Amino acid sequence: MAAGSILKEQLLVVEEFAVKTSEDIEKGEIVYSDGSGVLAAPSTALGPFMMALADHDYSEETVHRVPCVVAGCVEAQKVSGSGGGKKGQRVMVSATAGEVTLHVPGDAPASYAEATVQTALDANLRVVGTLAEDAADADTTAKVWLGVR
């Protein structure tokens, strides 16, 4: 299997989305809509998240739409060297846009500071899904139940 593969067709939801102007999309990349179209999800995105089922080179295409898995079991791009994970653990968008890494839960501070509390809350909103199988540290893809927290 490779990034962008559908692992189970049961419960699969696929929709087509407009691509944001001048954005390139890779098959297997985690994307989200910022209101102007879908693009590779940066680590600051709060979702909802989807996975692109096709490459889209904005400069070479004339129709700027891409099919995406909204919910289902897929093989998504993963940051290599970001740590491994066990089946059932949550994954989130990494610092590399469009790629997942093991989820680091937000930790509220001991004393109240609004910005720090908001950062901790946002970390928990960045969950993309749950690992469907173990993922090794060196893996470049991960099998994920997209949308399952």
> How far lies 96's CA from each of 3, 56, 64, 87, in Å?
15, 18, 23, 22
Q: Token pair for residue 85?
A: 């994970």
CA distance 8 to 88: 16
48-74 tens-digit pLDDT: 999 999 999 999 999 999 999 999 999
Instruction: Tell me the whole-structure pTM to 2 decimals.
Output: 0.89
Q: Token pair for residue 21?
A: 């102007």
94-118 tens-digit pLDDT: 999 999 999 988 887 777 788 888 8
CA distance 85 to 140: 13
